[in-house]
Structure formats: structure tokens, C-alpha cells
Structure 1
Amino acid sequence: MPFQKVTRRVVVLSLAGFAATPLMAETTAELIAQKKLSVEDAHDLALEGAITLVDIRRPDEWALTGVGVGAKPLDMRRKDFVAQLDGLVGGDRSQPIAVMCARGVRSKWLSRQLEIAGFTQIIDVPEGMLGSRAGPGWLRTGLPVVK
């Protein structure tokens, strides 16, 4: 069996005797289909080019925490937000787009609005940068940021 890149999405699913067999927990398509991603999966998929990860917070929030590596900063309050988002995905509204805010409240709301606007693969990152009930968030997980 050829060597395969192992990412954080690897889990031990079965034990045969004393040997553990790592298997991919979920494929990229399965992760995207869930419409929610952990910050780790969002980071990995953005770096792989499988999704466009968009940090929808305000510029003052980006200045305080930085922007996650792999994420595109785009303030959701911009009047031309949808046009700018279209530009990020080359006008292809069927491309997978993950949205992230501070704690998952704005990203959940915006996910629904973008689906209404005709984007077909919107994914929420409910942990956000600061953490929520969904998880510890980008910063406490220790994922890299750009200031």
C-alpha cells in the first residue's frame, strides 16, 4: 500500500489483535456534505484547496486576533459582500464555501442567507475564532494566524 498523507482527520476505527489500523474518518465530500466543519478540518480543507474559507468578522476583530491561515477576510457588513464572495469563487456558486466568525452566531445566520442567495455548498464553522459550545475555536486549538 503506498504511503498516504495523514492529517488530523485520521482516527483509529478498528483493532485487530494488538495492531491499530488508521483509516480516514470521513472523505472530503462527506465532511463538506455535513454543512459544519471543525476549525481543524476547515483549516486543512482550505489549505488543500477543497473549500474557500471566509472569515466574515469585522476588520477590528481581525486586527485583535489575526486571520486564520487559509482564510480570506471578508467583512459580512459590506454592501458588496455577495459580489466579493462571488469573486472569491470565480462566480461559481456551487463551490464549497465555509464561513467563520468569532463564536458561530453570525456564520450560522449568514450560511442561511447565502443559501437563499443561491450558493449551494455553504458550510458553517461554528467554533469560530474564539470558541463556542461546538468546540474550543481556532485560537485555543493553536491553529496559525496571519496578523
Structure 2
Amino acid sequence: MRLLALLTLVLLIPTAAVAQELPADQAQTLAVEGQLLLIDVRHPQEWRQTGVASAAETVSIHDPAGLPAFLAKVRALADRVPGRPIALICATGVRSDFAAKLLRQEGYDQVFNVREGMMGSTAGAGWLDRGLPLRPCTHC
């Protein structure tokens, strides 16, 4: 009995912290339709270099005031439409995965990682190679 309880705990803990994944093209479609809050978590210099997904908000995980400031900015965006799913994107899915796990720890249960990112990864070609729409970052 104790072994079964331990096994269940081991299997459930990682699942609770893992973000679901979303392909870039689907993230774009849902964000444009207003069904998803898409947030680019890269550094402002990266936004300047490549542009930003056209339907994305920009909140850098590299906030000079640290992760609490990052979380506060994301919370402010999410509070505009409570309950709307959130998708996070970075260059290759690593930082967005970390940020998604942070949000899940903060109680957000509908968090997605665009794991292929802007540049592509093992998960897919990436936003840029897919030719998905971009906009320049005018506030970077």
C-alpha cells in the first residue's frame, strides 16, 4: 500500500509542474482570435533582432527586478481576461518552459509552452522558419 502511494506521488508531482506544448502556428491562430494570451519572454535585444510574434505581448524573463517582477507583469496581463489560457515563447523553448513552470506554481493551470520557439528546436521549425507574422518591437 505504501509503495502504491509513493509511486502515485512520484508520478503526479512532475505532471503538475509540466507545461503543455503548443505548436507555433496554433499559438498564432488562437492568439489572433483572442482565445490565448501569447507572451514572448525573451530578452529585449532578441525582440529587436528578430521582431516579435504579431499577436504576442512582451514580458522578459530577464526583468532587471527579477522573477517577482516578471510574474507581476504576466499576472497584470492575465488579469485582463481571467481564465484565458497563456502560451509562452522564447528562442528555442527552454526559457518559456521554465517560465511556464513558474506560472503553474503560481496557480495558473492553462499554461502552454511554444517549445519550438522563434528559432526552432527539436519540437519544430520555429516561428521564423514557419514564416509566421512578426511586428517590430517599438519599445525595446
Question: CA offsets per residue over residues 41-67 of structure 1, 9 Å max, x none?
Answer: 000000000000000000000000000
SS of alignment partner, residue 20 of structure 2 = coil
SS at match of 1:64: helix
Taking structure 1 as the reference length, the TM-score comes to: 0.73
Secondary structure of the structure 2 residue equivalent to 1:110: helix
Matching residue within 42, 53, 61 for 2:27: 42
Per the alignment, in what secondary structure is the counterpart of residue 129 of structure 1? coil
Q: How high is the TM-score relative to the length of structure 2?
A: 0.77
Native 8 Å contact 1:93 1:119 kept in 2: no
In 2, the alpha carbon distance for the partners of 1:94 and 1:57 equals 24
**Percent identity among equivalent residues?**
39
Task: Please tell me the root mean square deviation across aligned C-alpha atoms, in Å.
Answer: 1.5
In the alignment, which residue of structure 2 is the partner of 1:54? 39
1:146 maps to 2:131: no
Q: 2:59 aligns with which of 74, 93, 98?
A: 74
**Residue of structure 1 in register with 2:111 after alignment:** 122
- Match of residue 90 from structure 1: 79
More strand by share: 1
Structure 2 counterpart SS, 1:43: helix
- Residues of 1 paired with 2:123 and 2:134: CA distance? 20
Q: Distance in 2 between matches of 1:103 and 1:48?
A: 24
Q: Greater relative contact order (Cα 8 A, min sep 6): structure 1 or 2?
A: 2
Q: Taking structure 1 as reference, are residues 89 and 73 closer, same or farther at Cα in structure 2, changes over 3 Å only? A: same
**Native 8 Å contact 1:111 1:124 kept in 2:** yes
Give SS of 1:123's match. strand
1:102 aligned to 2:98?
no
Cα distance in 1 for residues equivalent to 2:41 and 2:48: 13
Contact 1:86/1:93 (8 A) holds in 2? no
Q: Distance in 1 between matches of 2:39 and 2:52?
A: 10
* Runs of 4+ deviating beyond 4 Å: none
Report the CA distance between 1:87 and its aligned residue.
Answer: 1.1
The answer for unaligned runs of 5 or more in structure 1 is 1-33
For the residues of structure 2 that align with 1:142 and 1:75, how far apart are their CA atoms?
23
How many residues are treated as equivalent by the alignment?
114
